[in-house]
Amino acid sequence: MSEDQLEALIIQVINGAVTTIPSYLNEIKENKEMLKVENPQEFVYGIVMGMALGMGGAILSAQKEIPTEEDQIKIRDIVYKHIPEIRERIFS
């Protein structure tokens, strides 16, 4: 899989995760006492980042063996490149 293809798939994952932001924020608001989340937006940011990083590894695992450290760094770099967009969509 080329780096461009990997980035396109990771962007799809990020976009999918971002569409769930309103429902996550609502869920946190409705279950505030049980979840004890101090900053819902930061919590959701962690969820979205975890989804993007985790799915990037899963995509590569489906294509070949367990991702190497180099593969994981590629995934991280692709996801981190999109942090400003992710944060803007959560915090605006």
pLDDT digits (tens, 9 = 90+) for 11-27: 999 999 889 999 999 99
pLDDT classification of 61: cutoffs 50, 70, 90: confident
Alpha-carbon Rg of the chain, whole angstroms?
A: 15
Distance of CA 58 to the CA centre of its chain: 12
Residue 59 has pLDDT above 90, yes or no: no
The arithmetic mean of pLDDT across residues 28-44, rounded, is 93
Which helix (H) or strand (E) segment holds residue 84: the answer is helix 83-91
pLDDT, residue 58, reads: 87
